[in-house]
Amino acid sequence: MTPAWAIILLGALAVSVWGLWGHLRRTLARPWRPELSRAAGSPGRGVIYAFTWGMAPWAKESTRLHLLAYLRGVVFHVGIAAGLAGLALIPWRAAVPAAGEGAIAVAAAAGAVAGWGGLLVRVTEHNLRAVSTPDDLFSVALVSAFLSAGAGAWWGPRWTAPYLALGALTLVAIPLTKIRHCFYFFFSRYFFGLFYGRRGVVGGVQHE
């Protein structure tokens, strides 16, 4: 990777971190109203449940009824993790073993297929099309293109420049588009577990 690409990627990363820091400050500035009622369960157990069994496909009616969409989402997000890991590793690509290169390429390719498939469903399925915003479509298309280029780049150097360019664009887009849900996900799961764990709704024996 040339020094110019390194500067572009570091600049994009700085924009992403700065934007997410702004989201964090605004989130922490919101008023906090502590629960006054007597606890009926364990907030800690609720948080553990929210980040473990609470994400299993059988934990929610929507994922039980739409298992294929759930699995497509899992593959998509595993691919994103591989694509971002590959972006971080690419300056040291010569030291990555062939098996590692193949694993990143395969995971990114699978994620790209899942992403483009999800975008196709959003465009063609009546209900999903009705609730999809331009931000939704743009974000899924951008990340899917990033993963497609990533799979190509880790398969052969020909796609490295598009991979780096789309990687920089994706980093900048994180705090500006719905991709920022990767940041709010942890807040939503934490407070979900905290609230419903305290009330004894989740995290109890019946959920284990």
What is the mean pLDDT of each successive set of 10 residues along the chain, which is 208 residues long? Answer: 90 96 90 81 90 85 86 95 94 91 96 96 91 94 97 91 96 94 89 89 62
So what's the pLDDT on residue 39?
Answer: 85
Q: Quick one: which of 144, 208, 155, 184 has its CA closest to 19?
A: 184
Report which DSSP code applies to 94.
G
pLDDT computed for residue 21 by the predictor: 94
pLDDT value, residue 8: 95
pLDDT of residue 205: 52
pLDDT given for residue 60 in this prediction: 80
Per-residue model confidence (pLDDT) at position 54: 85
At 206 the pLDDT is: 54
pTM of the predicted structure, to 2 decimals: 0.85
pLDDT score, position 167: 96
pLDDT attached to residue 183: 86
Contact 144, 152 (CB under 8 A): no
Other CB atoms within 10 A of residue 150 CB: 34
